[in-house]
Structure formats: structure tokens, C-alpha cells
Amino acid sequence: MPDFDTSVPHIARVYDYWLGGKDNFAADRELGKRTLQAYPNLVFSVRANRAFLTRTVRFLAAQAGIRQFLDIGTGIPANNNTHQVAQRVAPGSRIVYVDNDPIVLSHARALLTSKPEGACAYIDADLRDPDKILASAADTLDFTRPVAVMLVAVMHFISDDAEASAIVNRLTDACAPGSFVTISHAASDIDAEQQTEMVRRLNQSVAEKATLRDRVGVTRLFDGLELVEPGVVRVAEWRPDSQLEAASPTGLWGGVARKP
């Protein structure tokens, strides 16, 4: 039996429910349904976010030559986890996963299936403590060489704007020039009314409160970095593989930027 309280919904398990996963409990499903009623496109939105994760990792590995990834706010393993996408392009890729949820920790084994040429590690830590993350990640990643910091659907759990920017800055300051940051973030200016109600329902029940930001606020998180084309866009429109993919409803902004 799990040694955590399954009667309280956790965002990682609710997200797993939205994605159609099986690693969730009745309380997570109940909240999952209530939030879906508020924002029926949420199912498409989170799938588009997951596809954004896949396309950005593929871009970073195949086109930007990145071989090291720091994936913070990993979530319960789903399809196309970062190491699988990166190691399909370059088997020697090294990946460090970070999450603060005990249920994600309990699934870490499924994330540690590196190809022998590369490496995977898992750190049980909070995004609000970037120094701890950087110190532990240095066991696996060489910060004198470029790293891609993946902050996919996690920055909206840092409500204070100054703290959110400080976290991104601390992480990028530790990375070599030529490193990248990927961010996706729930939007206050897409499907505004429905998303606001969805987040209100979510925040009534989960410990990690979510905060919506608008496109300008999400873009500000990349200050000091060079956004790669097409900039901060709806995640479905970030270098989509098809017009169908680009047209998917989604309530998240996303972008990738390079440290000069």
C-alpha cells in the first residue's frame, strides 16, 4: 500500500487522470472531473502540453545538440518521458528528473530506465530550492557544458512573480552559455473564464496552488535569454508536426530560450 494519503488529491495524480493515466485515486478522479466540468478542453490542453514536451526535447536534442536535461516538475511517468525522447536522438543523453511529490518519487524507477550509454537520476526536491537541485544534479550533469532546463507545466505553482523569475534566473545562472530553458505555463488570457474557474476548483483541494499568468507574464520569465522561433505561443503552435496538432485547443503558453 502507498504510504501517502490517498484521500487528498495531488496535482501529479489529477494531471495523470486528465492524461488518461491509471496512477490516480478516487479523490484525484473526483477533482479531475470537477475541473473538467469547468474547462472541458482541459483534456486536449494537457495532451497538447505533453506533445509540446516531446517536440521541445526532440528539438533540443536533434537540432540544438543538447545532451543534458534537468526536468523539474516531472510528473508521474507518461508517454514519451524526457529521457526516452532525448535518448532516441542521442543514446548518450543524461537526464535528471526532479519533483516534490511522494507519488512521483514512488514511480521513479520507471523514469530511471536509461540506455546504457547515457544516465538518468531522480531528485526528490522542491523547485523553490534551486540550490539543492543544482547541487544534487551536479552528480549526473556537467554544468560547464550546455544543459536544457525543462520547466513544463510547473512554474504556475510559484505564485509570486519575483520568486518565479528568481528561480529561473538561479537555474540559468548555473548553466553554461548555450544552455536552454523550456517553459510551459497555464494562461490567464486563453479561455480566461473557464480556466479561472478550473483553477479556483483545483486550488480548493490541492496543496500546490496554481496561478495563471498572461502571455506577457510568461514571456517575462525568459528575461535575459534569447527566445527561439516562434517565441512564446500556445503550446500547440510551438513547431507543430502537423496543422491538426497546431489546431488543438490548449490553455498553456510555451516557449524555448537560449542562454547567450
Report the nearest approach of ligand SAM to the CB of residue 184 (Å).
Answer: 7
Q: Element (H or E) spanning 71, and its range?
A: strand 68-72
Contact yes or no for 40/70 (Cβ under 8 A): no
* 145 vs 201, beta carbon nearer ligand SAM: 201
Report the nearest approach of ligand SAM to the CB of residue 223 (Å).
Answer: 21
Report the nearest approach of ligand SAM to the CB of residue 177 (Å).
Answer: 25
Helices of type H across 19-111: 26-38, 42-62, 82-89, 102-106, 108-111
* 24 vs 87, beta carbon nearer ligand SAM: 24
Closest alpha carbon to 98 in 128, 58, 53, 78:
128
* 12 vs 121, beta carbon nearer ligand SAM: 12
Q: Where are the beta strands (DSSP E) in 156-210?
A: 180-186
* Residues near 149 by beta carbon (within 8 Å), at least 6 away in sequence: 70, 72, 171, 172, 175, 179, 180, 181, 182
* 145 vs 194, beta carbon nearer ligand SAM: 194
Distance CA 164, CA 84 (A): 28
Report the nearest approach of ligand SAM to the CB of residue 156 (Å).
Answer: 8
> How far separated are the first and last CA of the chain, in Å rounded?
48
C-alpha cell at 206: 490541492
Residues in contact with ligand SAM by the rule CB under 6 A: 11-12, 15, 49-50, 53, 73-75, 99-101, 104, 126-128, 152-154, 157, 208
Contact yes or no for 94/68 (Cβ under 8 A): yes
Report the nearest approach of ligand SAM to the CB of residue 91 (Å).
Answer: 22
Q: In the bound complex, which residue of the shown chain has the CB atom lying closest to ligand SAM?
A: 75
Report the nearest approach of ligand SAM to the CB of residue 20 (Å).
Answer: 13
* 124 vs 145, beta carbon nearer ligand SAM: 124
* 17 vs 157, beta carbon nearer ligand SAM: 157
SS3 51: helix
